[in-house]
Amino acid sequence: MKKILLPCLPDGMPQEFLPFAADAPIYDSSSSPEANVYFIDKGHGYYLKRSGKGMLEKESKMTGYFHAKALGPEALQYITAEQDWLLTAAADGEDCLHERYLADPRRLCDTLALELRRLHETDFTGCPVQERTAEYLAFAEKNYRAGTYDSSHFPDSFGYSSAQEAYDVLTTGKAALQSRVLLHGDYCLPNVILKNWALSGFIDVGCGGVGDRHIDLFWGVWSLEFNLKTDRYRARFLDAYGRDKVDEALLKVIAAAEVFG
């Protein structure tokens, strides 16, 4: 995870965070245009995320839920004003893009698959987002209606030649998205923290909730291919997860939803 030292505190940072940030090096660790992420190098470390108003409320709740399940770092404070701010403790370990893990891709693949299966077998009683699949599909529908078709982040558009072809696959197959498990929602290598190959926790769980397992399976397969620059681990990942719970046809349905952002 990249870190760029900042010369001063982030603009507009609420005073409530000054006790954590005072006299500490602060680094920009952002990786997407949707949010700014800052690493505060103090004590065991903190991450401070900034995004648009209301954008981090769900992440705050899901981070707290994952922490209560011993599956992620603690959410320390959420503030919403003109913008949203979320302070979390840093997870102990390194994300799966660390050279130590990339150097052994087969073990990394198997570890990611097994930890995902364990996550999906976690009791989701009390999860603050109980209908993640419905939200996910509604978002894809909204973006289709708005003419959003993402061919930049996914250059091959997952094999779909047009927005209409993807939408037809989504419309035909979405009713089969029925499983209810605890989802990460953005299951990719940077969001899984390991310590000596053991799971330390999951981060960036704002898209999590109770929903269909194939959302996470799709992102696990995609992230392995994207980050390892090869598709040779796709079958291994699904085998290690357990083919008894995998329907590859549904991965194509998820791909159809993803081209709509």
Per-residue pLDDT at 162: 87
3: how many CB neighbours lie within 10 A of its CB? Answer: 14
- If asked whether residues 31 and 75 sit together in one domain, one would say yes
Q: Give CA–CA dist 86/65, Å, rounded.
A: 15
pTM score, two decimals? 0.94
Q: What is the mean pLDDT of the segment spanning 129-142?
A: 97
Report, as residue numbers or ranges, the catalytic residues: 186
Domain boundary among 89, 124, 141: 89
Among 37, 57, 89, residue at a domain's last position: 89
Same domain, 106 and 133: yes
| 24 three-state secondary structure | coil
Report how far residue 94's alpha carbon sits from residue 107's, in angstroms, rounded to the nearest whole number: 15
Q: Give 139's Cβ-side CA count (13 Å radius).
A: 14
54: left (phi over 0), alpha (psi -120 to 50) or beta: left
Q: What is the pLDDT of residues 230-247, one digit of tens each?
A: 999 999 999 999 999 999
Domain that includes residue 199, residue range: 94-258
Q: pLDDT tens digits, residue range 167-192?
A: 999 999 999 999 999 999 999 999 99
The answer to whether residues 21 and 60 belong to one domain is: yes
Q: How many angstroms separate the Cα of 172 from the Cα of each of 144, 175, 176, 186, 247?
A: 15, 7, 9, 24, 15
CATH number at residue 30: 3.30.200.20
